[in-house]
Chain A
Amino acid sequence: MTALFVRRAWCAVGMLIAAPLALSAQAATGTIRGKVTEASSGRGLAEAQIQVVGTRVGALSQASGEYVLTAVPVGARVVQIRRIGFQPVNKTVQVVAGATATVDAALSVSAINLSEVVVTGTASPTEKRRVGTSIATVDSTVISKAQAMTVDQALQGKIAGAQITQNSGGPGGGGISVRLRGTNSFISGSDPLYIIDGVIVDNGSAQLSDLGGRSNPQNRLADINPADIDRIEIIRGAAAAALYGSRANNGVVQIFTKRGLIGKPRVTFSTRLGTNELREQQPFNFYPYDVNGNPIARFNLQDDIFRRSPTYEQNLTVEGGNDATRYFVSVNATEDQGIIRSTESRRQGARLNLQQQLSSTLIANVSTNFVTTRNQLQAFGEQNDYGIMGSLFFAPTQTDFRPLNGIYPLPPALGTNPLLAIARIRNPQTVNRFIGSAKFTWTPVPKLLVDYTAGVDNAAFEQGQFIPRNAVLGTGPLSTGQSQSVFQNTRVLNQDLVSTYSWNPGSEFEWKSTAGLNYTQQSINLTQSGANGLAPVGELVSAGSVPFGAQRRTQLRTLGFFGQQELAAWNKLFLTAAVRYDASSTFAPAQRWQAFPKFSASFVALENRPGLLNSVRLRSALGWAGSQPGSTNAYSQFVTYSNSAFGGRPGFVNDVTFGNENLKNERAREWELGTEIGGFGGRVGVEATYYDRLVSDLLFFKPLPTSTGFSRQFAPIGTMSNKGIELLVRTVNIDRKDLRWESTVTYTRNRNKVESLNILDFQSAGGYPNRIRTGEPAGVFYGSYAARNCVTGALLLDSLGRYRRSNQTADMGLTLAARQALSGGTCNDSLNKVIGDPNPSWLGSILNEFTIAKKLRLRALFDGSFGNDILNLSTRAQNAGIASNSKSYERELLPYGDARKLAPNFNGRTQGIFEYWVEDGSFVKLREVSASYTLDWAPVKRLFREGVDLTVSGRNLWVWTKYSGYDPEITLFGTNAGGFGSVQTTSADRGIDFGGYPIPRVWSVSARFTY
């Protein structure tokens, strides 16, 4: 009771921190106006921040670069002019009461910018130079140039320390996962916390009906229009994210949408038209004879499944405003047809962002975004009853799937007829989502800043499904047809209050104290209705005769308080100490309240010096953060019972997953050390960071003795570390009037290791060889291998030249002695071993951008992953006896005497040898390429103020890889969800290619008009 009272009291105190303070200050003032330009081109620079140092007078430059500062206190004033990507400029000016002074500034590009203002993880807007951790920032131009369907797609290859993987290539951007500094948790995905305009948003990838088992058709960040985004800040780990407490272990991605440029209304219309296509077909068995040597016809199903499909996008924005009011309105529509026939994704959205100065001390910012995403998907991945990709890989090529007399023939053993699925199976999704926030910024006195944000993310997600009767093999319920309608409403509400007070104890020192609180409530309500036994006509649930249904409600709440103290000395040394005190409803009351401290130091050794070495900063930080299980395990602290009706009566039995009445959060400790160095007159910038993170109390299912009547408990099972290096180098190679060449190179190296487990090694993904094993990276492939001669290293073959499987006594003998005699040593003693590692050794990217005569811009982004293995279960499926459609199987059909001939059942026997299916998954992709030209002839400019930008671009155009499957990037397991149903998966499970949706190659042309 006392604890509850204390918490309520805290809550009350926190809420009332913002109690109004009386203030009024009237003094003589003057005005400053001027224009900010880009030094190299002389063009006006919009969005530059102009601030009168020591006052709260500030403004942003308009699109033309012009700005006005009013009510500037008289006297000698320093005006600071800053913009992302440029070196800041300070100018001194004498302000006279009632007069207007002029301050123009020409900013030079800087490859390194320590004055950039960030807010993520820092509690209040803070210059980068003061922050002891690395923060990655990406601005709107980088996102718009990517021509990506989704935000996360646009970030691929841009962030050091991030592994951004497109897990599937479905329409609307596919499913994408973001890993910052490796895998840090086995639960709730390892995806970072996403915040849009202060609102924590849901990036779940829930499948409400089975669209591919644990595969990842789409994650909900796909609802966000990339064109609305102004800026993204990314903090990668515990040290930087301690202020987000028990949710920050995987890092934080904070997205800021556009606020509108000050000035006359600007109308921008952009349109994009493109095509998606399969990059290349897979080889199949097209051998024109069967196993008995008789001629047969074979069919290439890929021609019937894949297509070249169009993609469209339109964006209309109107923005403008003055010092008191700014607005940004956008309307957006996209339609992306998938390369698998009958799949598509359409998104229509609107946004209104409004900033209003309510009084001289109070600013309100309101963001509203409504979006409707409508998809029509086809199952893939693990879904082998009606999934298209599984049906492709498991179907013999001699099966003629074309309908006969209106009836689509079913395959002989597994899957469905893909033509039938394309023609008749439907999995429509509709997401109606509203994300809105209101933020009040109050500066009652210049030194006190109070921010209050309230936000909501409400998504109504409807998943339909229609599978006609006789579309699925067998006699199970699915074969009688299935119709489903599943509704899930997800709502995230959050409130943030931050107050910051700065003061200067002496001219050399500056103190900043921050206190804040955060409260988040997430609720997920799901209702499912469905039926099997469908009537011959009718696609709705009511057409069924055997109904089923379900309902589930989940709620999660998190309450946290934090305090932070910063000390700046001589504007060179910055020390920060902070602590977040945090509790989540998921955890047991006694374990719930946890403190997450952080300490950081930043030392600016050099800044903006002329010459070879311009800026040098050193930084280091140590911090703690936690992670919470997702909604699936929201109630794991409770010992619960399951319904178990018997004999027509309701009954209860103990749930075999035993509740953990001491459940507590995972806890990460991270230390990082880094530097930023700028040189060659601002033309070279280097950011480098080393980090070392240890996550303890990793949560997962701990086996319980089954003799107790339970089988597992959600509990701490061990520790895991991630250590690595992040490097980002920006260079301006050529900077002339008619030619500018810039490059950005990133390098990411992460070493993951499971440090300790208090349970046995375990297969983390039920049914797949990913394994959590002490001393190995999380998710290594562990399984059977082809035995080798221990002396020569040559493969041990049987009399027909087929491999011997390590865990098969028929191949290796019954006893260990027999194995060793066969092997000539002890190298094959174990039945299974580590056979691969899906974690890359390193990731890298190179972006080159050329600007020719200020009008033509060319850019190319190469993005690569190196040293990661892939388990090619797609080709394994092709080799299964029922399919026998692989290129390799062709060689079994060859006549004896042919040198390429393989022994009968050579391929069949490889099914059980998992090592055989491990391939090097390293790749380099030409991720983005584009050429833009600005039409700015006078007649055009008369119609369109800033001319017309024409762009030709491509995504995923080429891939250099040894990997034999469709795409080395796709992987079975998704992002946040454990998948459909309750099959076990961890977020360590990667590198499985099993019936993935190939990532399309995209070509597009686009045009942008600004009125």
Chain B
Amino acid sequence: MRIFKRCVVALAATSLGACSLDLQNPNSPTQEQVTTSPDGVIALATGLQGRFAASYFNYAYMAGVVTDEFAATAAALISISDAEQGLVPPGTGIADNVFNSLYRTIRTADDLLSGADRLAGSFDAGTRSGLKALAYAVKAEALGEALQSYQRIPANTFGVTAPTYVSRAEALPIVRALLDSAAAQLAGTAPSAFFTSSILTPGVNLANMIQVFRARYARMAGDDATALAAANLVARSGTSAISAFTFPAPGVNPYANVTGGTNGIAVRRQFRTSMLPQDQRFGFFVIPSATLFGRIQTTPLDPFSTRYAVANATFLVYMPDEALLIKAEALANQGNLAGSQAALDSVRTDCTGGRGLDDPKACLPALVGSLTQAQLLTEIYAQRRYELLGTGLRWEDSRRRNAIRGPVAAPALPVDGQRCWLPYAIGDRNANPNVPADPTEPAANPAGVGCPL
């Protein structure tokens, strides 16, 4: 009996402590743990760069498939060969991946911004400046990629239950303002050595990246002065001119994942065959083939070069010569034809050894004579095609050149772009009442048309 009494008392005593129902999740860090500690916020910056690499790739992949850059390999899913013909029904995985991953990147950038502000006192000024500049720049580029894929996009999503969609005219200034904020951060306080060496992914030059993005969206907005100024701020040579994500094992360069299997794509052979015979740039991107054909049997393909198809290859954040091409275009628009032609020639004549960069090298001769403004712009578009493969910029170029044909079955040779926009993501449509109706694609038009913005 006494033993029983003791048992009851002992049990009551021990059970009191065990009665707490407030448990912590030991498997995953909570919001509080991540966003209120400096370590957590720094880890968010790494997570952000990873998400940015993934979303940029998803965008570039999809843009390449709906333009004349990429086509499905034989083992690929039917949805990819449909997309290369411009058929992208709502719910297509590779299209929804673009939207979903871009907005995950944006979410993480917002998380990082709010964390850097909340813990302002825990970071030195240079580290905080670097964190914020990185977040602004990446968020801006993700929004920019969204507005190059969708007719309308949600611009304000952080802490919003049902984000609303805005037009490109409303979204583009937001993107540019974010990039200006990024540039202003760096201009105000230079990033600390700790940020540059321990937070920023090795191989990425943040200042250069911000200026390339500023030039890119200034050009899109028709602001030639800003585009020119920003392009001039981009380093042209040396290691600082290159920004590339690296993928030490077990990381895998995203292009290496899609050179085969059900998501397999390759470069349309026409990319290489349409170049001038002397143009050497194909070697950067592809290995010439005479035998590789796509899922649609009439599509001749070239497999990706080892710069892409290898697991630990780097993934360029932008092509260094994009800045030169933007500069050339801005100068041409401003009437400085000689300056434009000079900038263009420096792209054309870039050759082995050139500026010391591992980038596409045309090794073409300089242009002969003085080109007119129209000739210059045509040449700029052509150079952009061969210089910027796999960056997603081809899609916007075909859109602004009214070279979108609209979906058509099994195009023998596609025009520049097959469709104007992607349908809005099913994941947003199913849960967000503010998603607009999917825009109507233009009817098949061999001459190509522009897209309603």
Contacts and interface: CB of A to CB of B under 8 A. Distances in A.
Interface stretch (B100-108, B176-184, B235-243): B100-108
Given A635-B27, A653-B108, A709-B104, A647 B46 contact: yes
A705 B11 contact: no
A503 interface: no
Contact of A583 (B5, B11, B21, B161): B21
Interface of A: 4, 7-8, 11-12, 15-16, 18-20, 358-359, 362, 440, 442, 452, 454, 495, 519, 521, 552-555, 557, 559, 583-585, 589, 592, 634-635, 638-656, 659, 702-711, 759-760
Given A521-B18, A703-B427, 13 more contacts: A362-B1, A584-B21, A641-B28, A641-B40, A645-B46, A647-B247, A652-B40, A652-B46, A654-B31, A654-B107, A704-B431, A705-B161, A706-B99
Which 4 pairs between the two chains have the least Cβ-Cβ distance?
A709-B107, A646-B50, A651-B46, A15-B12
B23 A585 contact: yes
Contacts of B1: 20, 358-359, 362
A553 B201 CA distance: 32
Contact of B431 (A8, A358, A442, A703): A703
Contacts of A647: 46, 49-50, 201-203, 245-248, 251
Given A358-B4, A646-B47, A705-B432, A454 B11 contact: yes
B16 A709 contact: no
Nearest to A647: B201
B163 interface: yes
B128 interface: no
B11 A708 contact: no
Nearest to B248: A648
B29 interface: yes
Q: Of B8, B163, B251, which is in contact with the most chain A CB atoms at under 10 Å from its CB?
A: B8
A654 B40 CA distance: 12
B51 interface: yes
Interface of B: 1, 4-5, 8, 11-12, 15-16, 18-23, 25-31, 33-34, 40, 43-51, 53, 96, 99-100, 103-104, 106-108, 110-111, 154, 157, 160-163, 201-203, 245-248, 251, 425, 427-428, 430-432, 435
Given A641-B34, A710-B107, A705 B12 contact: no
Given A647-B246, A654-B107, A554 B43 contact: no
Contacts of B202: 647
A764 B162 CA distance: 24
A654 B160 contact: no
Contacts of A362: 1, 4
B103 A707 contact: yes
Contact of A555 (B23, B106, B111, B162): B23
A315 B34 CA distance: 56
A225 B432 CA distance: 53
A649 B425 contact: no
B40 to A, nearest CB: 6
B47 A592 contact: no
11 contacts: A15-B16, A358-B4, A640-B25, A640-B31, A646-B245, A650-B46, A652-B34, A652-B43, A653-B50, A703-B427, A711-B427
A656 B101 CA distance: 10
A583 B22 CA distance: 11
Given A557-B21, A706-B425, A709-B103, A644 B28 contact: no
B25 A707 contact: no
A709 B161 CA distance: 11
Contacts of B425: 706-707
Contact of B11 (A15, A553, A644): A15
B28 A635 contact: yes
A643 B107 CA distance: 15
A711 to B, nearest CB: 6
A654 B103 contact: no
A16 B49 CA distance: 57
A707 B157 contact: yes
Contacts of B47: 641, 644, 646, 651-653
B103 A519 contact: no
A646 B11 CA distance: 49
A359 B246 CA distance: 76
A495 B16 CA distance: 12
Contacts of A653: 44, 47-48, 50-51, 104, 108
A634 B21 CA distance: 12
Contacts of B53: 646
A477 to B, nearest CB: 11
Given A440-B4, A638-B30, A645-B46, A708 B107 contact: yes
Q: Of A442, A649, A652, which is in contact with the most chain B CB atoms at under 10 Å from its CB?
A: A652
Contacts of A585: 21-23
A659 B261 CA distance: 34
B251 A552 contact: no
Nearest to A359: B1
Contact of A641 (B26, B31, B245, B432): B31
B100 A711 contact: yes
Contact of B50 (A440, A521, A651, A711): A651
A16 B203 CA distance: 66
A824 to B, nearest CB: 27
Nearest to B163: A707
Contacts of A521: 18
Nearest to B15: A15
Nearest to A555: B23
Contacts of A760: 430
Contacts of A649: 46, 201
Contacts of A20: 1, 4-5, 8
A527 to B, nearest CB: 12
Contacts of B19: 7-8, 11, 519, 557, 559
B91 to A, nearest CB: 12
A7 B1 CA distance: 29
A659 B111 CA distance: 16
Contact of B430 (A592, A645, A703, A709): A703
Contacts of B160: 708
Contacts of A358: 1, 4
Contacts of A519: 15, 18-19
A8 B427 contact: no
A297 B50 CA distance: 54
A160 to B, nearest CB: 37
Contacts of A759: 430-431
A21 B171 CA distance: 77
A986 B380 CA distance: 56
Contacts of B48: 651, 653
A705 B427 CA distance: 6
Given A640-B28, A647-B245, A11 B46 contact: no
